[in-house]
Structure 1
């Protein structure tokens, strides 16, 4: 069964990446969505109006991902963060953030696999996605390492402040903006600090790429805008009148996303100064 599962997994991934590349090409050939019309008409957040934000209560389940937690905090996913189907996660993430369908299948399917559950029938609580060294990893830009703070469901305000202070770019109206070099520099400092403070620190190319991927959503979905990122990273809520900055008709594909992820990761310096 192990060999058969590996063979099946190979063909599923080959299909996903072919599908994703097809969507990437379609995005080039078709007109973009108009600002103000990114979230579908039948979905939460349409017309730039998001469901009420409610901070998580004692006993609610939250993950290491601010974006997923925001979905629960706004009631787009169950507010308690529990008993969520992987298929529901796919749909809600796609509608809310305008990731491509291929992207939104790949990540929940990967999550189901590392939790040893079926993507098609399985359910999970948000906290389960914080399984160490699956998707969750050391040297996060918004969380202390799991060896130091086992509960990964809450952001660390100090780390978030450090990240937001790295912004050197400016929007057309002069508002602060995170750039690719800013994120590379922030990741450099964070990894060095994590190696120094966490005796159980682990690092691999896979987790470094995942860290750069998580960071790159700030540049793609949020456009690097500090005014949008501050409430998302500090409180895990959507800014008023927010919508995804990705206007591609078929959403943000993995092929397109890698054009941001790889420059961020390649810019990380292992021996960067803390100051």
Structure 2
């Protein structure tokens, strides 16, 4: 796609997203238990059987996508997935807005040099280094130390969850935006100090904070749910997205959270210097 066509496409997506923001503003939220629509996997918290990946299955650096394959909502082997299918399933399962669910798969198709409408991909292809995947992840070792991005690094996950300072109304542990930012700052500092190939350009910093913000905007920072998702890459029984907006989590809303997390991460990094 030439630069002019990309510009027009981006303008259309952001206009679409703005319209979804307006719909969310002026319409009631979805009811609890109905964030996943009737007839779709996960309706009223009933998720398909979980099966860990087998040898030869394809997985990536994204726990949420891996979980969809582990439950058979995406192909269990993680292979031959269309970009449209990925967007549709993420929308239906996690309640990201349709605009987001076009933008990310289309971006992925572009960095893979594939056709969004016609081609397929394996989940592992999403782990191309410094495309969306990046150094200083909260759940994976840097590719310099481990080229296999398909599995979580459990010590990182447990350390992240140990940073939780929040509590819900029933006293259960919650990660806050500052908790996530504080651990992200630690990961960036440690990675920069120990990884001779460390890189984290501005766009990857934003990807990092966007990925981290999913824990807040989709999972509500709930430590018990996050441990299941990040360690086992399994959707907890009875779970549904905390985002109940009728048209899902828009790019505009999500980006505000990501910018808040990135600003806090930068602040904590400055304190380390």
Shorter chain as denominator, the TM-score bin is over 0.9
Match of 1:186 among 161, 183, 186: 183
Shift of 1:227: 1.2
Shift of 1:38: 0.3
- Residue 92 of structure 1 aligns to a residue whose secondary structure is helix
1:99-114 aligned at under 5 Å gives the runs 99-114=96-111
- Residue 212 of structure 1 aligns to a residue whose secondary structure is helix
TM-score, length basis structure 2: 0.98
Cα distance in 2, alignment partners of residues 42 and 14 from structure 1: 33
Alpha carbons 1:192, 1:272 under 8 Å: kept: no
Shift of 1:143: 0.1
Cα distance in 2, alignment partners of residues 267 and 87 from structure 1: 34
Matched, 1:245 2:252: no
Q: CA RMSD in A?
A: 1.1
Match of 2:173 among 173, 176, 181: 176
Cα distance in 2, alignment partners of residues 124 and 74 from structure 1: 18
- Residue 267 of structure 1 aligns to a residue whose secondary structure is helix
TM-score, length basis structure 1: 0.97
- Residue 246 of structure 2 aligns to a residue whose secondary structure is coil
Alpha carbons 1:188, 1:272 under 8 Å: kept: no
Aligned to 1:162: 159
Matched, 1:139 2:136: yes
Cα distance in 1, alignment partners of residues 270 and 27 from structure 2: 44
- Residue 13 of structure 1 aligns to a residue whose secondary structure is helix
Q: Mind listing any 5+ residue stretches in structure 1 that lack a counterpart?
A: none
Cα distance in 1, alignment partners of residues 64 and 8 from structure 2: 29
Aligned to 2:201: 204
Aligned to 1:236: 233
Alpha carbons 1:78, 1:84 under 8 Å: kept: yes
Q: How many residues of Structure 1 are paired with residues of Structure 2 in the alignment?
A: 271
Q: Mind listing any 5+ residue stretches in structure 2 that lack a counterpart?
A: none
Aligned to 2:269: 270
Match of 1:60 among 52, 57, 62: 57
